[in-house]
Chains A and B, each alone.
Chain A
């Protein structure tokens, strides 16, 4: 069974803290993605990666960075968390071909106080 896991379901952090969100997939997918989901805005792409060590900016990369040291793992980093980064964060993965659907993790609800 297809599986994308995220390290935490709920996370509470303070302004200025460095935050790591981890995502692991077990499907040998080349592509991995990080989105944030906010009410009324749908999902917006933060960063994505087509391969190990590769990263590309999405539509809203400001305030975030990513790391992909292994094919199955894609980390999202908030260098200095701010209250406007309070959101639901969703990780997804897919095979390389661009028409393939993405498989999503359960999400991490991050609150920054």
Chain B
């Protein structure tokens, strides 16, 4: 069975400092992994996706994630947080065969001025 676990329900950083949002996955197959972001009262937007082409994936708004098979991790990072990054972030894996998405419980990112 496939699953993702987001290790922090809430992360708080100061503006200009690095962001790290942690995600571990479980999969019998080589997984397709995504990070989505949801700003308050908005729909979900794709930040980046991993589909086995390259282990370091760059996304929108300066975010990137590294796929580490040995650690079964897919952590999301950004070198310098901006106030507009405050949102909820979801780590997601595609359910093989069925094609729907399995979502983590989400990590709420707060950015302090």
Determine whether A74 belongs to the interface, using a CB cutoff of 8 Å to chain B: no
A83 to B8 Cα, complex, angstroms: 30
CB proximity of B109 to chain A, nearest CB, Å: 16
Cα-based distance from A92 to B105 in the complex (angstroms):
18
Report chain A residues within 8 Å CB of B44. Answer: 90, 92, 104
What is the CB-to-nearest-CB distance from B74 to chain A, in angstroms, rounded to a whole number? 14
25 contacts between A and B (CB under 8 A): A4-B43, A33-B100, A33-B101, A42-B90, A42-B103, A42-B106, A45-B100, A45-B101, A48-B98, A48-B99, A56-B98, A58-B100, A92-B44, A92-B101, A94-B99, A98-B97, A98-B99, A99-B32, A99-B51, A101-B34, A102-B101, A104-B36, A104-B43, A104-B44, A107-B43
Complex Cα distance A41/B106, Å? 9
Mark A residues whose CB is within 8 Å of B: 4, 31, 33, 40-45, 48, 50, 56, 58, 90, 92, 94, 98-99, 101-107
A43 and B32 contact, CB distance less than 8 A: no
Most chain B CB atoms below 10 A, which of A40, A43, A102, A103? A43
Q: Which residues does chain A contribute within 8 Å of B105, judged by CB atoms?
A: 40-42
CB distance from B107 to the nearest CB of A (A): 11
The answer to whether B103 and A48 have CB atoms under 8 Å apart is no
A43 to chain B, nearest CB (A): 4
Cβ-neighbour of A98 out of B46, B90, B94, B103 (below 8 A) = B94
A50 to B106, CA, bound (A): 27
CA of A107 to CA of B45, assembled, Å: 12
Contacts of B34 in A (CB 8 A): 101
A43 & B43 in contact (Cβ 8 Å cutoff): no
Residues from chain A with a CB closer than 8 A to the CB of B32 are 98-99
- New A-B contacts (19) at CB < 8 Å, excluding given A45-B101, A106-B43: A31-B99, A33-B100, A33-B101, A42-B90, A42-B105, A43-B103, A45-B100, A48-B98, A56-B98, A90-B43, A92-B44, A92-B101, A98-B97, A101-B46, A102-B101, A103-B46, A104-B44, A104-B45, A107-B43
Residue B96 interfacial (CB < 8 Å): yes
B101: A residues at CB distance < 8 A: 33, 43, 45, 92, 102
